Amino acid sequence: MRLNKFLAERIGIARREADDLIKRGKVIVDGKTATLGERVNDGQKILLDDKQIESRHTFTYLMLNKPRGYVASKKRQGETPTLYELLPEKFQSLKTVGRLDKESSGLILLTDDGDFAFQMTHPRFFKIKTYIVELDRPLEPLHQQMISDFGINLPDGLSKFLVAKLDSGVGKRLRVEMSEGRNRQIRRTFAALGYEVKMLDRIEFGRYKIGELKPGEFKELKR
């Protein structure tokens, strides 16, 4: 097994992050500084920052229905609670897969499997995320077509995703599907056209669906 894959599986980081650790000389294999592309096996002694990495690891995968008003970080932002306060101690070391901002709710994944996190978030794997969005006023048909067919220019590039109306054509309640995940992209896209997002709830991420999971509840997943 390549060393970067070993590190990704054992400590829950992406392979590119593992490569960076190797390049910086942070990894020691059998007493020697590791090199990029090096292959290892379970019988070797592998250290990261002078701490031995266990050779075997069972990964954990969680799905959480994040309530609105919680941040997806380890530390509180002022008095704002973190989603980790909803989890027992044994899951505190897990990392979130992607992001949901404080005012958004719904499905968020957590894991210690770096390869899984990379495959779920990197654009080349094209994982579709589905949201229910509510606007402050009905979405005009022209604006719906602009977003879905042409995209909206934002400071960090073109934003394009599928939009469908859910409320018998009124257009305040929408279903949004996208494979990107730039910071507050949905909110910024509608804001560029003069709308305010009043509610944003993620219900699907790839093959994972929120189902009957209530806000604040979580469950373990099997890959």
Catalytically annotated residues: 101
CB atoms within 10 A of CB 102: 16
Beta partners for 106? 66, 202
Coil, strand or helix at 66: strand
Residue type, 3: L
What DSSP designation does 146 have? I
Please, where are the H alpha helices in 94-207? 114-121, 141-145, 185-192
159: number of CA atoms within 13 Å, CB side?
23
Question: Closest Cα partner for 23 from 38, 13, 8?
Answer: 38
b/e for 81-97, b at 16 or more Cβ within 10 A? ebbbebeeeebeebebb
CA distance 178 to 148: 10
CA distance 143 to 162: 12
Q: Check if the beta carbon of residue 94 is closer than 8 Å to that of residue 154.
A: no
